[in-house]
A and B are shown apart, each in its own frame.
Chain A
Amino acid sequence: MTTVKEAVRLLEDKLGNKVMECKTPEPRRTYVLIKSGYHRDAISLLLETLSETGISTITGTDLGNEIELNYHIRCRGSVITIKNRVPKEKPQIMTITDLIPGATLYEREVFDLLGVIFEGHPHLERLVLSDDWPEGSYPLRKDWDPTVLEEDAPNLRGQPSVMNGGDVEGATSPVVNVVMGPQHPALHEPERFSFKIDGEVVVDVEPRLGYVHRGIEKAAERLMFFQDVYLIERICGICNAAHALCFSQAVESIGNIEIPSRARYLRTIIHELNRIHSHLLLLGVTGFELGYETLFQYVWRDREPVLDVMEMITGNRILTDFITIGGVRRDLKPETHEKIKKPMKKLKKRMKFYKNIFEEDPTLRLRTKGVGILKPSSAKKMCVVGPVARGSGISLDIRRDDAYAAYDEIPFNVITYKDCDSWARLMVRVEEVVESIDIINYALDHLPSGPYRVKVPRRQPEGESVSRVEAPRGELLHYVKSDGSAYPYRVKVRSPTLANIISFREIIRGSYIADIPAALISLDPCFSCTDRMSFVEVNNGRKWHWSLEDIKRLKKRS
């Protein structure tokens, strides 16, 4: 087995003078600047030498005259960032989707927001921006001007596909197009899936992301680091602690800030509470999606005490605003320990009951067993993360592989199931809740004394950092680049859902309509996490002036 270090050395040897810069500022993080155009050689070399290698994401950064592309390659707890620069006038680069199919969406994202053209990409289309976004306007470039959005007439690219279904290939074809979303009872956030359906069987699906854009990545560049924590926390209502933790870690790594160990433990506690509440939410929603409303009501009732505990610790039930750069914002009083442990004990007992239900209930088994199969080989190809990967038998957990907060000192098990179906993915979550309860109890028992926060200067030194945490849905990655001021130069967020949603097509093709909710929910998609890029000016907004002519034209077309 070659280690990551050896692989990097091999990379330097083989590519010789094409490696322009190679540094390892901290353990498990390596940044390699490669001569333009040789990134494919570097990545395929890494794929050959290291098993369990996948891509986390691609970050595009506008450096002025050039656009820097960071390919964050993950292998066994380490992240090797392959850097490549393309000129801004002619931003073209070869695709890597043939090497790693999991990079498809990441390349589309960079294309959409920075205008980099990936040659050889199978379908380089918009990913997150709306269809009427002006062409040639790339919001994540530094010289982007929001006034381009103030044009009056909507520039519709092709047919607005809001029509609800209809025949696909003429009247004789049995295949019907059924659109789910942006508003649909199975989806709790706006997103659109266009299914091609033959009778009751799904032939194909085409997801369209991007209905919940808030332009957080761009907005983060306009706020100071300490302000960004609050913005970043609002990326997602469910896994907010994970986002805040990940961002804080990245900034701390840039500024070489050592946080007190009490803060590390407190962070772990709130992170795990967050995981419990997220998993319970999902298990309840599973009941709803499968028409098992009693399960839904029961699980959500048992989730309430978790929210109460969060409120007791942080003052808020959902958006905790607890983790900040340099530690946490509040201390934990010793008398609250018991108040946390008591509901946790009760919940642990309830989880046994739910585990029994998921294992024994015949209707639940019929609906989830053998549904939405994701084989380990395709899971690896698609680079899925978190419970989706663990449900396919891939032991992948950032908490263990790339230990952060207090996870290097706390014992816990990584749950994997080999069934590769929706049931396995749900069972992983059921058991992870129990693990999380144990982690919280251990952290409370071994909570070190001392300060819970250190003062952090507003200005951070120049530098960059990749930070990863295991969010409830899987690997969450933040990339932060600082230019020495109090404002970040670039913030990049790769949420776990974007990594997992790519597998949905593979999972759902050939199954029944009724399996759509069961399969989708087992991925635990969170679209507000996924759709945070791009930028819409809040104050002047996008103006829609629909003239009578426009409406008539649309009517005629449909």
Chain B
Amino acid sequence: MPIDLVFFLRVLIFPGFVFLLAFSLFCDWFERKIRARMQNRMGPSYTGPAGLLQPIADYIKLLTKEDIIPAQATRLLFTVAPVLAVSLFVFTFYYIPIDGLNIIPNSSFEGDLILVLVLITIAEFTMFLSGWSSTNPYSGIGATRVLTQFLGYDIPLIVFAIGPAFLSGSLSISTIARKQTVPFVALTPWTFILFIITLQAELGKDPFDIPHAETEIVAGYVTEFSGRRLAFIEIAKDIQVVLGATLVTVLFLGGPYGPVLFGSSAVWYTFWFIVKVLAVIFLLEYVGSVAARLRIDQVVRANWRWMMPISLLVLALTIVCQPLLSPLVG
């Protein structure tokens, strides 16, 4: 693609940076509202219509706050880690079709699914580093928990993600999404359910919000962060949630592709993308609302004893079923 005005608009405004940021903030509001309504609370209500502007207000507040670096902290890591987390998550979005095309059209390639999974893993590692660099006992324990939990669920997550790749016969995310004339959730619902559960752990949501269990270790790895750095970490977490939901969308729900009723297909594809992502976030919040936080040893044990073998079995099952299901794959 030539580097012209359209290129810049796509990268910076839509479906690039500004859109992603605005959408993440909207999802932040959506999450909070859903969670609140499930818990019989109001949720954000006062800033903007129905509290829609609350996340923005929160970030503006954080950005104006004093930014403190602990004297003992590793200054470089402490500064770099939050920024790195945000940029890695945003960068990952460049391989995901949003309005039917990638942000940079035709930039997808065979194997970008693996790249995306690797980027997510690295981004997870920045969270560990941010906790580790702040030399606070709470942060230290939180950081170790990030890593321990990550050891438990990361491999099953990747194995589950390979399932759709087998079905569509491609390792490119946009191809996997495009091939789902019948969404893979209908073909292999069991993979979908298990993927949602492992994703819950990846995103650190209940029952897996162990790395920042507030009643045990205060804020976990973010305990020492304040002001702008905290804002960066928080926005990174928001984008991470959207990214997780997006991954479910492209792997199991047919990505942005859906019926185009009239007019421009790009508008409809964006619409379907947003609807599907919100539906997945709703599901994630629902699971989070009906569970208590587990203990780190329980998670790790359950993952190695149950999730690992199950994920391999599921993958084998998918491979076996693939010839039967292939007529349904577009």
A365 to chain B, nearest CB (A): 9
A367 neighbours in B (Cβ, 8 Å): 292-295
- Complex Cα–Cα for A364 and B209 (A): 14
Q: 1/0 per residue B138-156: CB within 8 Å of A?
A: 1011001100000000000
Size of interface on A: residues with Cβ below 8 Å to B: 37
A300 nearest CB neighbor, chain B only: B40
- Per DSSP, chain A at the interface is mixed
Does the CB pair B39–A291 fall under 8 Å? no
State whether the Cβ of A361 lies closer than 8 Å to any Cβ in chain B.
Answer: yes
State whether the Cβ of B186 lies closer than 8 Å to any Cβ in chain A.
Answer: no
B40 neighbours in A (Cβ, 8 Å): 297-298, 301
A485 neighbours in B (Cβ, 8 Å): none
State whether the Cβ of A363 lies closer than 8 Å to any Cβ in chain B.
Answer: yes
Tell me the chain B residues, 26-54 only, with Cβ under 8 Å from chain A. 38-41
B137 neighbours in A (Cβ, 8 Å): 164-166, 176-179, 197
A514 neighbours in B (Cβ, 8 Å): 210, 213, 216, 293, 295-296
Given A176-B137, A291-B213: A361 and B292 interface contact (C-beta under 8 Å):
yes
- Complex Cα–Cα for A184 and B216 (A): 9
Q: 1/0 per residue B287-304: CB within 8 Å of A?
A: 001111111111000000
Does the CB pair B292–A297 fall under 8 Å? no
Q: 1/0 per residue A266-292: CB within 8 Å of B?
A: 000000000000000000000111111
- Complex Cα–Cα for A292 and B298 (A): 16
Identify which of B39, B136, B140 gathers the most chain A CB atoms within 10 Å of its CB.
B39
Given A185-B215, A288-B215, A515-B295: A294 and B136 interface contact (C-beta under 8 Å):
no
- Complex Cα–Cα for A165 and B217 (A): 12
Does the CB pair B39–A513 fall under 8 Å? no
- Complex Cα–Cα for A291 and B292 (A): 5
Looking at the complex, which one of B136, B218, B292, B296 makes contact with A287 (CB distance below 8 Å)? Answer: B292
Does the CB pair A298–B39 fall under 8 Å? yes
Looking at the complex, which one of B39, B215, B296 makes contact with A297 (CB distance below 8 Å)? Answer: B39
A178 neighbours in B (Cβ, 8 Å): 137-138, 141
Given A293-B39, A297-B39, A514-B210: A184 and B218 interface contact (C-beta under 8 Å):
yes
Does the CB pair B297–A200 fall under 8 Å? yes
Identify which of B215, B290, B298 gathers the most chain A CB atoms within 10 Å of its CB.
B215
State whether the Cβ of A171 lies closer than 8 Å to any Cβ in chain B.
Answer: no
B110 neighbours in A (Cβ, 8 Å): none
Does the CB pair B293–A291 fall under 8 Å? yes
State whether the Cβ of A295 lies closer than 8 Å to any Cβ in chain B.
Answer: yes
Does the CB pair B217–A363 fall under 8 Å? no
A174 to chain B, nearest CB (A): 12
A199 neighbours in B (Cβ, 8 Å): 144
State whether the Cβ of A366 lies closer than 8 Å to any Cβ in chain B.
Answer: yes
State whether the Cβ of A448 lies closer than 8 Å to any Cβ in chain B.
Answer: no
Identify which of A199, A291, A295, A517 gathers the most chain B CB atoms within 10 Å of its CB.
A291
B207 neighbours in A (Cβ, 8 Å): 291, 363
- Complex Cα–Cα for A185 and B141 (A): 16
Given A178-B141, A200-B141, A297-B41: A363 and B216 interface contact (C-beta under 8 Å):
no
State whether the Cβ of A186 lies closer than 8 Å to any Cβ in chain B.
Answer: yes
Does the CB pair B215–A291 fall under 8 Å? yes
- Complex Cα–Cα for A197 and B215 (A): 16
Given A176-B140, A291-B206, A298-B39: A186 and B215 interface contact (C-beta under 8 Å):
yes
State whether the Cβ of A516 lies closer than 8 Å to any Cβ in chain B.
Answer: yes
Given A295-B292, A367-B292: A289 and B298 interface contact (C-beta under 8 Å):
no
State whether the Cβ of B214 lies closer than 8 Å to any Cβ in chain A.
Answer: yes
B136 to chain A, nearest CB (A): 7
- Complex Cα–Cα for A289 and B298 (A): 17
A177 neighbours in B (Cβ, 8 Å): 137
Tell me the chain B residues, 240-287 only, with Cβ under 8 Å from chain A. none
B289 neighbours in A (Cβ, 8 Å): 293-294
Does the CB pair B136–A164 fall under 8 Å? yes
State whether the Cβ of A512 lies closer than 8 Å to any Cβ in chain B.
Answer: yes
A297 neighbours in B (Cβ, 8 Å): 39-41
A513 neighbours in B (Cβ, 8 Å): 141, 216-217
Looking at the complex, which one of A363, A364, A512, A517 makes contact with B215 (CB distance below 8 Å)? Answer: A517
A490 to chain B, nearest CB (A): 39
A296 nearest CB neighbor, chain B only: B39
- Complex Cα–Cα for A184 and B39 (A): 24
Does the CB pair B136–A363 fall under 8 Å? no
Tell me the chain B residues, 165-192 only, with Cβ under 8 Å from chain A. none
Q: 1/0 per residue B196-211: CB within 8 Å of A?
A: 0000000000110110
A291 neighbours in B (Cβ, 8 Å): 206-207, 209, 213, 215, 292-293
- Complex Cα–Cα for A331 and B270 (A): 67
Q: 1/0 per residue A183-201: CB within 8 Å of B?
A: 0111000000000010110
A482 to chain B, nearest CB (A): 45
- Complex Cα–Cα for A411 and B267 (A): 70
A26 to chain B, nearest CB (A): 45
Does the CB pair B292–A512 fall under 8 Å? no
A294 neighbours in B (Cβ, 8 Å): 38-39, 289-290
Does the CB pair A363–B296 fall under 8 Å? no
- Complex Cα–Cα for A361 and B294 (A): 12
B145 neighbours in A (Cβ, 8 Å): 200
A370 to chain B, nearest CB (A): 11
Does the CB pair A185–B214 fall under 8 Å? yes
- Complex Cα–Cα for A197 and B218 (A): 16
- Complex Cα–Cα for A200 and B294 (A): 14
Looking at the complex, which one of A164, A186, A364, A366 makes contact with B298 (CB distance below 8 Å)? Answer: A366
Does the CB pair A292–B293 fall under 8 Å? yes
A133 to chain B, nearest CB (A): 28
- Complex Cα–Cα for A166 and B207 (A): 30
B209 neighbours in A (Cβ, 8 Å): 291
**Other contacts beyond A197-B137, A291-B207, A366-B295: 17, CB < 8 A:** A185-B214, A185-B218, A186-B214, A287-B292, A288-B215, A291-B209, A291-B213, A291-B292, A292-B291, A292-B293, A293-B39, A295-B292, A296-B39, A366-B292, A367-B295, A513-B216, A514-B216
Closest 9 CB pairs of A and B: A291-B293, A292-B292, A165-B137, A186-B215, A297-B39, A363-B292, A290-B292, A514-B295, A517-B215
Q: List 27 A-B contacts (CB under 8 A).
A: A165-B137, A176-B137, A178-B137, A186-B214, A186-B215, A186-B216, A197-B137, A197-B141, A200-B141, A200-B296, A289-B215, A290-B292, A291-B209, A291-B213, A292-B292, A293-B39, A298-B40, A363-B207, A363-B293, A366-B295, A367-B292, A512-B295, A512-B297, A514-B210, A514-B295, A515-B295, A517-B216
B: residues with CB less than 8 A from A are: 38-41, 136-138, 140-141, 144-145, 206-207, 209-210, 213-218, 289-298
A: residues with CB less than 8 A from B are: 164-166, 176-179, 184-186, 197, 199-200, 287-298, 301, 361, 363-364, 366-367, 512-517
